[in-house]
Structure 1
């Protein structure tokens, strides 16, 4: 009889085949690992050490494929790895919105899994609205984020962060996700979008009159509904 580890590997290989060309790379990006990590999980190269699947990775694989390994109950794993957090609002590049329209009301808040590497009460989630992040996330995807202020996290070059711009004493808000770059002058935030309308970077060391800009979150991972 096959052990559970081999059952999971067989399921993974079958699901990748079902997804078709490019599935391994997409899964790797979804998990935040290198494609070679998936190959090591599958045991594709006998010269490489076999890599075990982490509990959190198994949960995300189930989300990615929209299925579970036969005979494997993910519910206890989900309960152990995750607690849920609300999707409190959205990100939408180049769009100024009234502060009341940017965040969801309590009854409209969806619950999604948090990430086990940080306390759930230091995390929040936002829904991607449009193509402002289409190099990394699709319209409707959920960004699981670390509250950098509560966590006292100092963002660095290469981070994907949530930035809020405000004007009119905070009544109008623009919230989006951008990639941090560091220059000789300071930090710049660059888009992860292919849309020509969203290519202008946000220069943090240059202030626009009447506006404020603040990095409020670090994107930890991207949740995609099956």
Structure 2
């Protein structure tokens, strides 16, 4: 696969008019030597760019004819992630298209309370439910445990298993609840099956997230062992790429 450093250089050089390293750095408001690091594979070793930097790169290159979707692949925003140019919701917006984001998922982070306070929550417009009658909830992806598929900061549209007739199956992205000593970890994992066992896997470039979690069996209602329970199925993911004023996140006065 082409290194992210080479892809960034290729996209910069494809801009019309073409941008030099110095002009690109000026547009991003950083030192030329700092920007040059991101185009040098001997200095920048990571497989993807930071999402915030990629957003700024898009603001510079999209007006110069570079494809927005290809730019965001630099941050790993590909595959199942729903990346689209967001439109400003109208005044007659359908409330059924919005899902409340009530917390975050992050591997290795155990909390006394898995849901955010009401004042911290926000709504995201995912559109009509893909599963009629499903009860949906939203969580924000934090950390790097799924960064091969979902970058940190993405909002996940999820379906509660306990309120649905849909059962999780191998290949699904799922929301996993793990408890230990009255603390709860909420994570996103890929459900897999291996030698008759159910396995939960991270999809990460980071070495600390490579070890799978094995689960003894699958029940019709949920996947459970002593401390692990699958509570939701991920339906889609969205990252807000819109400029200020066009965001499809909204905060409500509570």
Report the 3-state secondary structure (helix = DSSP H, G, I; strand = E; otherwise coil) of the residue aligned with 1:61: coil
State whether structure 2 residue 187 is matched by structure 1 residue 176.
yes
- Asked if 2 retains the 8 angstrom alpha-carbon contact of 1:181 and 1:190, the reply is yes
> Gapped runs of 5+ residues in structure 2?
1-61, 218-224, 242-254
Output the TM-score relative to the length of structure 1: 0.64
Counterparts in 2 of 1:161 and 1:205: CA distance versus 1, 3 Å:
same
How does 1:206-221 map onto structure 2 within 5 Å? 211-221=226-236
Match of 1:86 in 2: 100
Match of 2:84 in 1: 61
* Deviation per residue, 1:70-94 (Å, 9 max, x gap): xxx8638x93595212111110012
Which of 163, 171, 190 is matched with 1:150 structurally?
Answer: 163
- Of Structure 1 and Structure 2, the greater helix share is in 1
**Alignment length (residue pairs):** 169
**How big is the shift at 1:119?**
5.0
Match of 1:133 in 2: 146
**How big is the shift at 1:217?**
0.9
Match of 2:123 in 1: 111
**How big is the shift at 1:148?**
1.5
**How big is the shift at 1:189?**
0.7
* Deviation per residue, 1:46-103 (Å, 9 max, x gap): xxxxxxxxxxxxxx6332xxxx5xxxx8638x935952121111100122222x2x32
Output the TM-score relative to the length of structure 2: 0.57
Counterparts in 2 of 1:120 and 1:83: CA distance versus 1, 3 Å:
farther
Match of 1:30 in 2: 81
**How big is the shift at 1:224?**
0.4
**How big is the shift at 1:222?**
0.7
- Asked if 2 retains the 8 angstrom alpha-carbon contact of 1:125 and 1:144, the reply is yes
Match of 1:192 in 2: 203
> Gapped runs of 5+ residues in structure 1?
1-13, 32-59
C-alpha separation in 2, matches of 1:93 and 1:215? 14
